[in-house]
Amino acid sequence: MIIRLAESLELSLADRNGLLMSAGFAPVFPESDLDGAELRPVREALDAILAGHEPYPAVVVRSGGEIVASNTAIDILFEGVDPGLLETPMNAYRLALHPRGMAPRIRNFPDWGNHVIHGLRAASRRSPNPAIDDLLAELAEYVPASNPGRDHLGFAVPLRLDSSDGELTLITTLTSFATATDVTLANLQLEAFLPANDASATILRARAARRASVDIDR
């Protein structure tokens, strides 16, 4: 009954374990080490997906934004970022919105920043977490209010990012393990960036070609 109630409430697996323990039962959903033998096939699959998404950037994050894996194309997002923000554990939300992170290079920062915060706040409502609440409070200090015009449809907010190779316009897709029964796996999400126009695609492909050329020279 408890498990079915938790499913109906769409609680996270960690919260379902907590509910079971509160009722006097042992947790039933394991929480494996991402680098351990149990999840090695998952890690290998994620690495293959990340590599296959190149020359476009992609990252794998935990529910609070901690980056656990990325591909080489992600370097374009990290240009000019304060080295302190790149220390492990890196937080994708803080990297994006902190004034010493990507924020100064984001041309539509108010709109995109509020879009990011809205998504994180919605996730927090589904699975409350004091740590995420603290992160939301921090991020809200970095992002100014947004005032979309009349023609704003709210369908998608692209990331318009300045880079050393020119302006990029990117859209993102989010992928999660919908059938996961492991807490660690259920908390992972892959965020993949895609070019929204030909100019952005050309820039990203050219950067990938330069990286490949450097690797050959080595």
pLDDT on residue 149: 60
Residue 50: CB atoms within 10 Å: 21
- CA distance to 30, 88, 143, 157, per residue, from 109 (Å): 39, 25, 8, 10
Query: pLDDT of 42-79, one tens digit each?
Result: 899 899 999 999 999 999 998 889 999 999 999 999 99
Q: Tokens representing 75? A: 């370097």
pLDDT at 83: 94
Residues 89 and 18 placed together within one structural domain of the fold: no
**pLDDT in the model for residue 52:** 95
Same domain, 11 and 38: no
pLDDT at 212: 85
Same domain, 18 and 94: no
In this structure, are 25 and 39 located in the same domain? no
Same domain, 92 and 160: yes
Between CA 136 and CA 209 the distance in angstroms is: 38
Please count the other Cβ atoms lying within 10 Å of the Cβ belonging to residue 104: 12
Regarding whether 86 and 16 lie in a shared domain, the answer is no
CB neighbour list of residue 61: distance below 8 Å, 6 or more residues apart: 67, 68, 92, 188, 189, 191
Domain limits for position 20: 1-30
Q: What is the pLDDT of residue 20?
A: 76
Cβ atoms < 10 Å from Cβ of 46? 20
Counting as low any pLDDT under 50, the low residues of the chain are: 153
C-alpha to C-alpha distances, 140 to 7, 26, 64, 74, 108, nearest whole angstrom: 31, 38, 15, 24, 16
Write out pLDDT tens, residues 182-193. Answer: 778 888 899 999
Q: Are 72 and 8 found together in one domain?
A: no
Residues 2 and 56 in one domain: no
Instruction: Enter the tokens of residue 130.
Output: 């004091």
- Domain count of the fold of the chain: 2
We report the CATH number of the domain holding residue 153 as 3.30.450.180
Residue 98 makes CB contacts below 8 A (sequence gap 6+) with 82, 85, 142
Q: What 8-state DSSP symbol labels residue 73?
A: G
4, 36: one domain? no
Same domain membership, residue 88 and residue 194: yes
**Number of C-beta neighbours around residue 22 at 10 A:** 9
Do 20 and 56 lie in one domain? The reply is no
Residues 40 and 6 sit within 8 Å (Cβ to Cβ)? no
Verify that 19 and 58 share a domain, yes or no: no
